[in-house]
Structure 1
Amino acid sequence: MDDIVKKIEEGELIPFLGMGVFEGTTASDGTQLPYDSDSMILALNNGRAMSPRLMYEYSRAAMSLEQRKGREFVVQMTNHIFSSKEYELPKAYKWLKDLKPKYIIDTTVDDSLQKIYSDCDHFLITGISRITADYDRFIIYKYEVSKGEYEKIEKEDLTLDLPILFKPMGSTKPDMNFIISDADFVDWLTEAMGGYAIPPILKEYRKDKEYLFMGVDFSKDTFRMVANEITIGLKSGITLLNKEELTKKEDKFIKTHSLKNIKMSINEFIDNHGK
């Protein structure tokens, strides 16, 4: 059996998914699902580009839209982008559906991850921001196939005996909670640095693990910070960046975290590492 596949199945190598897994994914109406910062901005703003300052990163553009049109507009627009039309699961999810990792991190905000685990009991953790009742920036759910629905549980009830799906930037389901604008990310990252963005049991479990970063844009400051906070204590890992030359920031992140970049597309990588 392929060593990478074996490591994923045994929980030594943790998949970490970013928006790039949607590259090439077309919805039923022929539109392309957002797969990077620019395409996410266009989707949020009805296909229109924004000023160069706002086009820098989608969190900045989302913050501008929130200030002009309100928080609810951004939430509903994000949900509309990923919930209003049918689309085939990207190849990365189809591959992981067979592997069923024990722990998987997914920074997309749609529900593809939940779909591939719908045939087995599991835990789901979704990120949340800008709340005043608690420091924790996550909600934990338990899914039982026999019930066919998610139920909120306390962090003390989270165990390692079922697969754990971690969506730190939120999700369309079971509840619409999104880390999408600058204000969301600032709040989430602030609490993450204080240790409140990940349940205690995962802080212990993640030590000395390796990560497989698929579709994560390390050229953007925000997602480098998110990845850094979530993978504290990592041993090493792999990035898939199929580009001629890495940016200085990408190169520094990879070296600082003892990662190895494989210059290959996600689909090529999967083709080479199927079961």
Structure 2
Amino acid sequence: MSASPIPAPDAIRPAAGPILSGADAQAHLKDVAAWLKADRLVPYLGPGVVAASGAGGTVPLAPEALAAELSKRHPAPGRMRTNMWAVAQFIDQRRHRKTLTAWMGEIFAPKLSPSPFQSYLAGLPSSLIVDTWYDGAMRAAFAGTGRTDFGEVQGITRAGITQDIWTRAYDAAGTLVPDATAESWTTILYKPHGAVTPAQNFLVADSDYVEVMTEIDIQSPIPPVVRDRRSFRGFLFLGCRFHDQMLRTYARQIMKRSRGPHFAVVDAASLTRNEARFFAEQGIAVLDLPLGTALDILMDA
């Protein structure tokens, strides 16, 4: 923890997405670590968290890598081959949704060991963790602690579903439970795009998002329990990229009406123009550090 007194999170509300680097970023991250421990920041995790620790290697850890894996099973036209959502849509149309789901299950079947940071997070009494990738490593991290006071809320595809539902809830044992059960959990693991465990729910094709995008601005696809728990907190983005409009839209809507402040650990030099604009518009302070270094600081502070 930093030697100086830690300011209250409300005292720091970046209005224009400042960029801190080097020693300034590291010093600021120590205060961020204290707010994380105090359950004032919601970790918003991308696949980079697993990749940074070297814990992956058996499953794709980026949308482009997943597009390549899907294309191995059913080659997509060259113009869309690096676009995960377009490749998945191509398979959905040509080979049926069941085939797409089966292939996604195969691709993410290898069990990932939790990264050290995921294991660290699982030991904190966080009210809410957002995990945006399809693997089951964060659930495995919770299982490794022996905790039973957590559960998952996962986004689901509405393909073939006649009910007016957007998510499903699963307890610590992986059992499907009523949505209201989530209100009693100490920690909610929110997987907005689904996950391979425990039931192979995947939002991945363009068609999965058509209806979601028409409703997301009025928050229907965002679970009420998530909306409630974000209200008094800010967000800490780790291992995420926002180089696609859909990823930015989801993050913007998940953050909506949250209290702040917000931070993102990123390599500032690699940001696209749209990513930089997104961080500035949302008032997200950029901490320009290697992700592995930042995760170590967060765990050791």
Q: Please indicate, yes or no, whether the TM-score normalized by the shorter chain is above 0.5.
A: yes
Residue 90 of structure 2 corresponds to 64
Separation (CA, whole Å) in 1 of partners of 2:108 and 2:203 = 15
127-136 vs 220-229, greater mean Cα deviation: 127-136
Residue 10 of structure 1 corresponds to 38
Give SS of 1:66's match: helix
Q: Does the 8 Å CA contact 2:128/2:226 hold for their aligned counterparts?
A: no
Relative to structure 1, the CA distance from residue 49 to residue 217 in structure 2 (aligned partners, 3 Å threshold; closer, same or farther) is farther
- 1:92 matched to 2:117? The reply is yes
2:210 corresponding residue in structure 1? 186
- Mapped contact 1:130–1:184 kept (Cα < 8 A): yes
Summarize the Cα distance change of 1:244–1:165 in structure 2 as closer, same or farther, 3 Å threshold.
same
Scaled by the length of structure 1, what TM-score is found?
Answer: 0.87
Q: Does 1:252 align with 2:277?
A: yes
Query: 2:294 matched to 1:266?
Result: no
TM-align CA RMSD = 2.3
Q: CA deviation at 1:92?
A: 3.5
Fraction of identical pairs, as percent: 21
CA shift at 1:164, angstroms? Answer: 0.7
The number of aligned residues is 266
* Structure 1 range deviating more: 58-67 or 241-250: 241-250
CA displacement 1:199-218 (0-9 Å, x = unmatched): 22321221252111112111
Q: Please name the residue that 1:146 is paired with.
A: none
2:228 is matched with which residue? 204
Residue by residue over 1:210-255, the C-alpha shift from the partner in whole angstroms, topping out at 9 and shown as x without a partner, is 1111121111111111111111113231112214152221111101
Q: 1:138 aligns with which of 167, 171, 178?
A: 167
Q: Which structure is larger by alpha-carbon Rg, 1 or 2?
A: 2
Determine which of 75, 79, 101 is the counterpart of 1:53.
Answer: 79
SS in 1 for 2:80: coil
Alignment check: 8 A CA contact 1:129 1:188 kept = no
| Gap regions ≥5 residues in structure 1 | 144-148
For 2:45 and 2:168, the matched residues in 1 are separated by: 19
CA distance in 1 between counterparts of 2:286 and 2:62 reads: 19
- Residue 105 of structure 1: SS of its match in structure 2? strand
CA contact (8 A) 1:16 1:104 kept: yes
Q: Which amino acid aligns with 2:287?
A: I
1:7-46 equivalence runs, <5 A: 7-23=35-51, 25=54, 31-46=57-72
Given residue 115 of structure 2, which amino acid in structure 1 is its aligned partner? P
Structure ranking higher in helix proportion? 2
CA contact (8 A) 1:207 1:233 kept: yes
Which TM-score applies when normalising by structure 2?
A: 0.80
Structural mapping, 1:220-259, within 5 Å: 220-234=244-258, 235-259=260-284
Q: 1:170 deviation in Å?
A: 0.6
Question: Could you report, residue by residue, the CA deviation over 1:110-167 in whole angstroms, capped at 9, with x for unpaired residues?
Answer: 1111111121121210111225433331011222xxxxx2332323333255211111
RCO greater where, 1 or 2, for CA within 8 Å and sep 6 or more?
2
- Contact (CA 8 Å) 1:216, 1:223: kept in 2 or not? no
SS at match of 1:15: strand
Any idea what SS the aligned residue of 1:222 has? helix
| Cα displacement string for residues 80-108 of structure 1 (whole angstroms, at most 9, x for unaligned residues) | 1111x344333432332333522100011
Distance 1:108 1:12 in 2: 23
Alpha-carbon distance, 1:62 to partner: 0.9
- Contact residue 22 and residue 33 of structure 1 kept, 8 A: no
User: Of residues 107, 129, 137 in structure 1, which corresponds to 2:132?
Assistant: 107
Select which of 190, 194, 213 maps to 1:166.
190
Q: Structure 2: 5+ residue runs without aligned partners?
A: 2-29
